[in-house]
Structure formats: structure tokens, C-alpha cells
Amino acid sequence: MSLNKETKINSIEVAGDHKHINLEQKITIKENGVLISETNHRVCYSPDTDIATLDPEVAAIANTVWTQAVKDAYAAAVALV
């Protein structure tokens, strides 16, 4: 018996003033090449996320949209809460 778990990025969206990155992943599990489970998983990353922990594709987007001005605006907004 051989189990194989695969995670693929379905979509990446940048949203809002603080450029949150919304990620949808599809997780599939196959046994001997036959699909036995398929689920979707969503994650939202804010500008204070450590970019080194992100998937390289997501990190490239974060490096582009999370300018210092965006990070500063996000930090100021969080400080108000």
C-alpha cells in the first residue's frame, strides 16, 4: 500500500488596503495512484508574516506587494486595535 499526499496552490489573491494574501490550496491523497481524498484549504497572510516561511511562489508576490509603506500602515492599524 502506497499513500501519496500532494498539495497544490489553486489560487492566490491580494486583497484590501493592507494587501493580505489569500491562498487556496488543494490537498489530494492517493492510495496506489487512486484518489481517496480531496480537500481545499484556505490561508490568509498579513504583511507582518515572515516571508521566509512562505511557499516561494507566495513569497515572490509578498516581496512585491508588501512594500515598507504597506507594512507600516498595517502595523499602525493593528496598534489601534
Predicted TM-score (pTM) above 0.75: yes
Comparing C-alpha atoms, which of 58, 79, 72, 71 is closest to residue 14?
58
| 7-61: pLDDT as tens digits | 999 999 999 999 999 999 999 999 999 999 999 999 999 999 999 999 999 999 9
Do residues 66 and 19 make contact, with C-beta atoms less than 8 angstroms apart? yes
